[in-house]
Amino acid sequence: MFSGCHSEKHVKLQTSNLTEAIEMAADGGITPLDVNGLKQKFNKKFDRWCVDIMGVPPQYMGNDSILSVFLTRFMELNKPVLTSVKMHYVRYPDLNGDIENCVSKLKKELPDAGEFEVFVYFSQFSLTNTFTDTVSGKHVLGYSAEMFMDDTCTLYDKIEGMPAWIKRYARTEQIAPYLAITYLNGRYNESHPRKTMLDEMIFQGKLWYSMLQLTPDIAPERLLGYTPQEWKFLQKEESNIWNFYVQEKTLFSTDFNRGYKRFFVQGERTTGAGLPEDCPPRIGNFTGLKIVAAYADKTGKSLKQIWEETIAGNILKESGYNPIR
């Protein structure tokens, strides 16, 4: 649990699990009194889960009788899946320790990051991303447990409309780094102008570089959602990918939707004229990672200093990145 942080102060995080609390209340049927208890325990987190994630109309949030009916029905519908979720996470007893280790490294890099807590919930397979919020002065790092049950989970194949690429980002080991970069995205998004493809590339590259630094024990391809074959392809074709950007004159394009969106979207492939049919997804993120890594190696800057440089052109220039040699 504590490997890799021998000299670091380990951060003990408060962790709350809304789903487990609802299950405990459901043993004898969820009453209005139980709802009131959930509100008291989870406060704003309970409200956000009900309204923003589960779609409860805001006007019903003050009526505990209505909410008790909603929660009772919620448990009736999802009990089999919740059982599967619990069985899965029994195999990961060190998960909270992994999250704490990651946050410890984050706070070492960013001493002014403040305090964190972890919030676990269930979204009925509707919320694929982690989120951050601020409650009582703490950064709440939240994730929907059923969305990180590994790429071998058979449930994902049975859900109508769920894209196959979800499995790339569904590994339990990805929870800790994804929580960290969600925080970093929220912290630095407004300070980073993203008007061109290069801007987007460097920003996404910083996020990926941060994940690699904060969770170095996870293989890069697994962390970033690639197969071993795709990762080898990207390494081999790095210079050709860069040459493609240069030839297509996309680096300084300001047309996100028609110019370069395809290089950053989640999916199974990066598609379009000039690219091989088996081109892996998010090649823009990959190139951004390579530039930021080169910048870090050449300048020796810390993670905090890397994030403090907000001009993408400066990072590209100082990195000396040019794989076409």
Residue pointed to by tokens 């325990």: 41
Number of residues that this document lists for the chain? 325
State pLDDT tens for residues 208-250: 999 999 999 999 999 999 999 999 999 999 999 999 999 999 9
Please enumerate in sequence order all residues whose Cβ is within 8 A of that of 67, keeping only pairs 6 or more positions apart, or say none. 32, 35, 50, 56, 60, 61
Does the pLDDT at position 7 exceed 70? no
- How much is the pLDDT for 5? 40
Q: How confident is the model at residue 9 (pLDDT cuts 50, 70, 90)?
A: low
Q: Is 266 helix (H, G, I), strand (E, B) or coil?
A: coil
Query: Who wins on pLDDT, 133 or 59?
Result: 59
State pLDDT tens for residues 103-145: 999 999 999 999 999 999 999 998 888 888 887 789 999 999 9
Global pTM value? 0.93
Comparing C-alpha atoms, which of 278, 115, 110 is closest to residue 206?
A: 110
- How much is the pLDDT for 117? 95
Assigned token pair, 160: 């109508």
Comparing C-alpha atoms, which of 117, 82, 73 is closest to residue 99?
A: 117
